[in-house]
Amino acid sequence: MHSLVLFRTFAQNDYAMAKNLFARYIWELTTIYRMKRITLKELNERWRDCYLYDGKDIPRRTFDYHRKEIEMLFNLNIVCDKRDNTYHVEDDSSFRNSELRRWFVNSVAVSSIVREAEDLEKQIALEYIPSSEPFLPGIIQALRENKVVSFTYQSFDRETPTQHSLMPYALKLFRQRWYIVGKPLNNEKILIFATDRISTFTVEEQTFKYPTDFDIKDYYRDSFGIIIEDGLPCEHIVIKVASSQVKYVRSLPLHHSQRETTTTTDYSIFEYDLKPTYDFEQEVLSHREDFEVLQPQSFRDRIRTIIKDMYQRYYH
Protein backbone atom coordinates (compact mmCIF):
# COMPACT_ATOMS: atom_id res chain seq x y z
CA MET A 1 0.00 0.00 0.00
CA HIS A 2 2.83 2.37 0.90
CA SER A 3 4.51 1.70 -2.47
CA LEU A 4 1.25 2.40 -4.34
CA VAL A 5 0.79 5.72 -2.54
CA LEU A 6 4.42 6.61 -3.27
CA PHE A 7 3.97 5.73 -6.95
CA ARG A 8 0.86 7.90 -7.20
CA THR A 9 2.68 10.76 -5.52
CA PHE A 10 5.59 10.53 -7.96
CA ALA A 11 3.17 10.27 -10.90
CA GLN A 12 1.26 13.34 -9.74
CA ASN A 13 4.50 15.26 -9.25
CA ASP A 14 5.75 14.26 -12.71
CA TYR A 15 2.46 15.37 -14.27
CA ALA A 16 2.56 18.69 -12.44
CA MET A 17 6.17 19.28 -13.56
CA ALA A 18 5.37 18.40 -17.17
CA LYS A 19 2.30 20.66 -17.14
CA ASN A 20 4.32 23.51 -15.66
CA LEU A 21 7.13 23.02 -18.21
CA PHE A 22 4.66 23.02 -21.10
CA ALA A 23 3.18 26.27 -19.77
CA ARG A 24 6.69 27.74 -19.67
CA TYR A 25 7.28 26.77 -23.32
CA ILE A 26 4.07 28.54 -24.30
CA TRP A 27 4.98 31.60 -22.26
CA GLU A 28 8.48 31.81 -23.80
CA LEU A 29 7.18 31.29 -27.34
CA THR A 30 4.35 33.82 -27.08
CA THR A 31 6.45 36.44 -25.28
CA ILE A 32 9.13 36.32 -27.98
CA TYR A 33 6.45 36.33 -30.70
CA ARG A 34 4.77 39.41 -29.21
CA MET A 35 8.02 41.31 -28.65
CA LYS A 36 9.28 40.54 -32.19
CA ARG A 37 12.90 40.63 -30.97
CA ILE A 38 14.18 40.22 -27.43
CA THR A 39 17.43 39.43 -25.61
CA LEU A 40 17.65 36.73 -22.96
CA LYS A 41 18.19 39.45 -20.37
CA GLU A 42 14.97 41.19 -21.42
CA LEU A 43 13.15 37.87 -21.46
CA ASN A 44 14.24 37.20 -17.88
CA GLU A 45 13.05 40.64 -16.81
CA ARG A 46 9.57 39.71 -18.01
CA TRP A 47 9.93 36.18 -16.61
CA ARG A 48 10.28 37.63 -13.08
CA ASP A 49 6.80 39.15 -13.44
CA CYS A 50 5.25 35.98 -14.87
CA TYR A 51 2.74 33.92 -12.88
CA LEU A 52 4.95 30.86 -13.53
CA TYR A 53 8.10 32.42 -12.06
CA ASP A 54 9.85 29.99 -9.69
CA GLY A 55 12.39 32.42 -8.23
CA LYS A 56 15.10 31.50 -10.75
CA ASP A 57 16.17 33.18 -13.98
CA ILE A 58 16.33 31.18 -17.21
CA PRO A 59 19.97 30.17 -17.90
CA ARG A 60 21.12 30.28 -21.52
CA ARG A 61 21.74 26.53 -21.61
CA THR A 62 18.23 25.85 -20.29
CA PHE A 63 16.75 28.29 -22.78
CA ASP A 64 18.59 26.61 -25.66
CA TYR A 65 17.03 23.30 -24.57
CA HIS A 66 13.59 24.94 -24.39
CA ARG A 67 14.02 26.30 -27.91
CA LYS A 68 14.62 22.80 -29.24
CA GLU A 69 11.57 21.47 -27.39
CA ILE A 70 9.41 24.33 -28.71
CA GLU A 71 10.51 23.58 -32.26
CA MET A 72 9.66 19.90 -31.83
CA LEU A 73 6.27 20.58 -30.17
CA PHE A 74 5.03 23.51 -32.24
CA ASN A 75 7.09 23.33 -35.45
CA LEU A 76 8.26 26.89 -34.78
CA ASN A 77 11.91 27.84 -34.63
CA ILE A 78 13.20 30.49 -32.20
CA VAL A 79 16.44 31.75 -33.74
CA CYS A 80 19.20 33.95 -32.37
CA ASP A 81 20.58 36.92 -34.29
CA LYS A 82 24.27 36.90 -33.35
CA ARG A 83 24.67 40.55 -34.33
CA ASP A 84 22.79 41.78 -31.25
CA ASN A 85 22.01 38.49 -29.43
CA THR A 86 18.28 38.93 -29.87
CA TYR A 87 15.81 36.07 -30.31
CA HIS A 88 12.81 35.98 -32.64
CA VAL A 89 10.36 33.47 -34.05
CA GLU A 90 11.57 32.56 -37.52
CA ASP A 91 9.23 34.19 -40.02
CA ASP A 92 9.98 31.96 -42.99
CA SER A 93 7.76 31.47 -46.05
CA SER A 94 6.19 28.30 -44.61
CA PHE A 95 5.01 30.28 -41.58
CA ARG A 96 3.78 33.26 -43.59
CA ASN A 97 1.89 31.01 -46.02
CA SER A 98 0.36 28.79 -43.35
CA GLU A 99 -2.92 30.24 -42.13
CA LEU A 100 -3.22 27.38 -39.63
CA ARG A 101 0.21 27.98 -38.04
CA ARG A 102 -0.32 31.75 -37.77
CA TRP A 103 -3.79 31.22 -36.28
CA PHE A 104 -2.35 28.75 -33.78
CA VAL A 105 0.41 31.09 -32.59
CA ASN A 106 -1.97 34.04 -32.27
CA SER A 107 -4.50 31.92 -30.36
CA VAL A 108 -1.88 30.54 -27.99
CA ALA A 109 -0.49 34.04 -27.46
CA VAL A 110 -3.91 35.37 -26.45
CA SER A 111 -4.50 32.35 -24.18
CA SER A 112 -1.16 32.95 -22.47
CA ILE A 113 -1.98 36.62 -21.86
CA VAL A 114 -5.40 35.78 -20.41
CA ARG A 115 -3.88 33.05 -18.22
CA GLU A 116 -1.53 35.64 -16.70
CA ALA A 117 -4.51 37.88 -15.96
CA GLU A 118 -6.53 35.41 -13.87
CA ASP A 119 -6.40 37.80 -10.92
CA LEU A 120 -8.32 40.30 -13.08
CA GLU A 121 -11.28 37.99 -13.68
CA LYS A 122 -13.79 40.65 -12.61
CA GLN A 123 -12.26 43.10 -15.08
CA ILE A 124 -12.10 40.92 -18.19
CA ALA A 125 -15.26 39.88 -20.06
CA LEU A 126 -14.82 37.01 -22.52
CA GLU A 127 -17.13 35.85 -25.28
CA TYR A 128 -18.79 32.46 -24.83
CA ILE A 129 -17.58 29.90 -27.35
CA PRO A 130 -19.58 26.63 -27.69
CA SER A 131 -17.32 23.73 -26.75
CA SER A 132 -16.22 21.40 -29.54
CA GLU A 133 -13.08 20.17 -27.80
CA PRO A 134 -14.35 16.60 -27.06
CA PHE A 135 -14.76 15.83 -30.77
CA LEU A 136 -11.92 17.78 -32.41
CA PRO A 137 -9.19 15.15 -31.74
CA GLY A 138 -11.36 12.45 -33.32
CA ILE A 139 -12.17 14.64 -36.31
CA ILE A 140 -8.48 15.45 -36.82
CA GLN A 141 -7.66 11.73 -36.64
CA ALA A 142 -10.35 10.94 -39.22
CA LEU A 143 -9.08 13.69 -41.53
CA ARG A 144 -5.51 12.42 -41.26
CA GLU A 145 -6.42 8.75 -41.80
CA ASN A 146 -9.32 9.23 -44.24
CA LYS A 147 -11.74 7.41 -41.95
CA VAL A 148 -15.52 7.58 -41.88
CA VAL A 149 -17.07 9.16 -38.79
CA SER A 150 -20.48 8.46 -37.24
CA PHE A 151 -22.29 10.87 -34.95
CA THR A 152 -25.59 11.96 -33.47
CA TYR A 153 -26.62 15.45 -34.54
CA GLN A 154 -29.23 17.82 -33.15
CA SER A 155 -30.14 20.34 -35.82
CA PHE A 156 -31.78 23.60 -34.78
CA ASP A 157 -34.64 23.02 -37.24
CA ARG A 158 -35.49 19.48 -36.05
CA GLU A 159 -37.09 18.35 -32.82
CA THR A 160 -35.26 15.02 -32.65
CA PRO A 161 -31.59 14.16 -33.26
CA THR A 162 -30.44 12.36 -36.42
CA GLN A 163 -27.71 9.81 -37.08
CA HIS A 164 -25.04 10.42 -39.71
CA SER A 165 -22.13 8.56 -41.28
CA LEU A 166 -19.80 11.01 -42.98
CA MET A 167 -16.64 11.03 -45.06
CA PRO A 168 -14.97 14.09 -43.51
CA TYR A 169 -13.19 16.41 -45.93
CA ALA A 170 -12.33 19.42 -43.77
CA LEU A 171 -12.81 21.53 -40.65
CA LYS A 172 -13.84 25.20 -40.79
CA LEU A 173 -13.98 27.79 -38.04
CA PHE A 174 -16.52 30.61 -38.37
CA ARG A 175 -17.93 32.95 -35.74
CA GLN A 176 -16.58 30.98 -32.76
CA ARG A 177 -17.98 27.67 -34.06
CA TRP A 178 -16.19 24.69 -35.61
CA TYR A 179 -17.87 22.99 -38.59
CA ILE A 180 -17.10 19.61 -40.15
CA VAL A 181 -17.47 19.48 -43.93
CA GLY A 182 -17.89 16.22 -45.84
CA LYS A 183 -20.03 13.79 -47.82
CA PRO A 184 -22.47 11.26 -46.32
CA LEU A 185 -21.93 7.66 -47.35
CA ASN A 186 -25.35 7.58 -49.03
CA ASN A 187 -25.31 11.03 -50.63
CA GLU A 188 -23.18 12.84 -53.21
CA LYS A 189 -23.93 16.29 -51.77
CA ILE A 190 -21.40 17.92 -49.46
CA LEU A 191 -22.94 18.72 -46.07
CA ILE A 192 -21.82 20.94 -43.19
CA PHE A 193 -22.34 20.17 -39.47
CA ALA A 194 -21.65 22.39 -36.46
CA THR A 195 -19.53 20.32 -34.06
CA ASP A 196 -21.13 21.83 -30.93
CA ARG A 197 -24.43 20.17 -31.94
CA ILE A 198 -22.87 16.69 -31.95
CA SER A 199 -23.72 14.53 -28.92
CA THR A 200 -22.01 11.21 -29.72
CA PHE A 201 -19.04 10.68 -32.03
CA THR A 202 -17.15 7.63 -33.33
CA VAL A 203 -14.23 7.22 -35.72
CA GLU A 204 -14.99 4.10 -37.74
CA GLU A 205 -12.50 1.61 -39.16
CA GLN A 206 -13.96 2.12 -42.63
CA THR A 207 -11.78 4.31 -44.85
CA PHE A 208 -12.55 6.32 -47.96
CA LYS A 209 -10.63 7.87 -50.84
CA TYR A 210 -10.15 11.58 -50.23
CA PRO A 211 -10.82 13.64 -53.38
CA THR A 212 -7.46 15.14 -54.30
CA ASP A 213 -9.12 18.07 -56.09
CA PHE A 214 -10.95 19.25 -52.94
CA ASP A 215 -9.56 22.28 -51.08
CA ILE A 216 -11.58 23.85 -48.27
CA LYS A 217 -10.29 27.36 -49.10
CA ASP A 218 -11.31 26.97 -52.76
CA TYR A 219 -14.67 25.53 -51.71
CA TYR A 220 -15.44 28.67 -49.69
CA ARG A 221 -13.62 31.14 -51.92
CA ASP A 222 -16.82 32.81 -53.15
CA SER A 223 -18.73 32.60 -49.86
CA PHE A 224 -18.93 34.95 -46.90
CA GLY A 225 -19.41 32.52 -44.03
CA ILE A 226 -20.42 28.90 -43.62
CA ILE A 227 -23.41 28.66 -45.99
CA ILE A 228 -22.99 27.20 -49.47
CA GLU A 229 -26.05 27.70 -51.67
CA ASP A 230 -25.88 25.35 -54.66
CA GLY A 231 -26.69 27.10 -57.91
CA LEU A 232 -26.24 30.59 -56.49
CA PRO A 233 -23.82 32.46 -58.77
CA CYS A 234 -20.91 34.59 -57.64
CA GLU A 235 -21.82 38.24 -58.19
CA HIS A 236 -20.12 41.62 -58.22
CA ILE A 237 -21.50 43.38 -55.14
CA VAL A 238 -21.11 47.10 -54.48
CA ILE A 239 -21.85 48.55 -51.03
CA LYS A 240 -21.88 52.16 -49.90
CA VAL A 241 -20.58 52.44 -46.33
CA ALA A 242 -21.16 55.48 -44.13
CA SER A 243 -18.02 57.24 -42.89
CA SER A 244 -18.70 56.12 -39.29
CA GLN A 245 -18.18 52.48 -40.33
CA VAL A 246 -15.47 52.82 -42.98
CA LYS A 247 -12.51 52.25 -40.65
CA TYR A 248 -14.23 49.20 -39.15
CA VAL A 249 -14.72 47.66 -42.60
CA ARG A 250 -11.15 48.46 -43.59
CA SER A 251 -9.70 46.83 -40.49
CA LEU A 252 -11.96 43.74 -40.68
CA PRO A 253 -12.71 43.02 -44.36
CA LEU A 254 -15.99 41.22 -44.95
CA HIS A 255 -14.38 39.03 -47.62
CA HIS A 256 -10.93 38.48 -49.12
CA SER A 257 -12.13 40.10 -52.39
CA GLN A 258 -12.93 43.41 -50.66
CA ARG A 259 -11.72 46.54 -52.50
CA GLU A 260 -12.30 50.17 -51.56
CA THR A 261 -12.89 51.92 -54.89
CA THR A 262 -14.25 55.31 -53.80
CA THR A 263 -13.42 57.37 -50.72
CA THR A 264 -15.12 60.59 -49.64
CA THR A 265 -15.58 62.42 -46.35
CA ASP A 266 -19.14 61.09 -46.01
CA TYR A 267 -18.83 57.52 -47.29
CA SER A 268 -16.72 54.93 -49.09
CA ILE A 269 -17.63 52.42 -51.78
CA PHE A 270 -16.52 48.80 -51.21
CA GLU A 271 -16.73 46.15 -53.91
CA TYR A 272 -16.83 42.36 -53.55
CA ASP A 273 -16.98 39.26 -55.71
CA LEU A 274 -18.94 36.63 -53.81
CA LYS A 275 -22.23 34.78 -53.52
CA PRO A 276 -24.94 36.81 -51.74
CA THR A 277 -25.82 33.96 -49.39
CA TYR A 278 -28.19 34.17 -46.44
CA ASP A 279 -25.38 34.78 -43.93
CA PHE A 280 -23.93 37.61 -46.06
CA GLU A 281 -27.43 39.07 -46.29
CA GLN A 282 -27.65 38.96 -42.49
CA GLU A 283 -24.25 40.63 -42.20
CA VAL A 284 -25.32 43.52 -44.43
CA LEU A 285 -28.57 43.98 -42.49
CA SER A 286 -26.71 43.97 -39.17
CA HIS A 287 -25.09 47.28 -40.16
CA ARG A 288 -28.52 48.91 -40.54
CA GLU A 289 -28.51 52.35 -42.17
CA ASP A 290 -24.70 52.45 -42.41
CA PHE A 291 -24.72 49.98 -45.33
CA GLU A 292 -26.48 50.50 -48.65
CA VAL A 293 -26.33 47.86 -51.37
CA LEU A 294 -25.89 49.57 -54.74
CA GLN A 295 -25.33 46.55 -56.98
CA PRO A 296 -26.48 44.10 -58.19
CA GLN A 297 -30.08 45.21 -58.45
CA SER A 298 -31.38 41.74 -57.50
CA PHE A 299 -29.51 41.80 -54.17
CA ARG A 300 -30.56 45.40 -53.54
CA ASP A 301 -34.19 44.36 -54.14
CA ARG A 302 -33.85 41.48 -51.67
CA ILE A 303 -32.58 43.83 -48.95
CA ARG A 304 -35.36 46.33 -49.78
CA THR A 305 -38.01 43.60 -49.46
CA ILE A 306 -36.69 42.53 -46.06
CA ILE A 307 -36.65 46.13 -44.81
CA LYS A 308 -40.21 46.64 -46.11
CA ASP A 309 -41.40 43.48 -44.34
CA MET A 310 -39.75 44.64 -41.12
CA TYR A 311 -41.40 48.03 -41.44
CA GLN A 312 -44.83 46.46 -41.89
CA ARG A 313 -44.26 44.19 -38.91
CA TYR A 314 -43.47 47.11 -36.63
CA TYR A 315 -45.93 49.69 -37.98
CA HIS A 316 -49.01 47.61 -38.82
- What is the tens place of the pLDDT at every residue in 12-49? 455 455 667 877 888 888 888 888 899 999 999 999 98
- Residue 164: phi and psi, rounded to 5, are -140, 145
Per-residue pLDDT at 49:
85
Q: In the predicted model, what is the mean pLDDT of the chain?
A: 85
CATH 1.10.10 occupies which residues in the chain? 2-123
State the span(s) of the chain assigned CATH 2.30.30. 136-212
Region(s) of the chain under CATH 3.30.70: 235-315
State how far the alpha carbon of 219 is from the alpha carbons of 179, 190, 200, in Å.
Answer: 14, 10, 27
2-123 architecture in CATH? Orthogonal Bundle (1.10)
Task: Report percent pLDDT > 70 for the chain.
Answer: 81
User: What are residue 79's DSSP bridge partners?
Assistant: 88
Q: Does residue 240 carry a pLDDT above 80?
A: yes
How high is the pLDDT of residue 273?
A: 97
Domain 235-315 indexed as CATH 3.30.70: yes
pLDDT, tens digit, for every residue of 146-174?
Answer: 999 999 999 988 889 999 999 999 999 88
- What lies within 8 Å, CB to CB, of 266 at 6+ separation is 242, 243
Q: Could you tell me which CATH class the domain 136-212 is placed in?
A: mainly beta
pTM of the model: 0.68
Query: Does the structure show a pLDDT above 70 at 114?
Result: no
**Range 89-100 average pLDDT:** 68
Residues 6+ apart with CB under 8 A from 301: none
Report the alpha-carbon distance of residue 184 to residue 189 in Å, rounded. 8
Query: 67: which residues sit within 8 A by CB, 6+ positions away?
Result: 77, 78, 87
Q: Looking at residue 158, what is its pLDDT?
A: 87
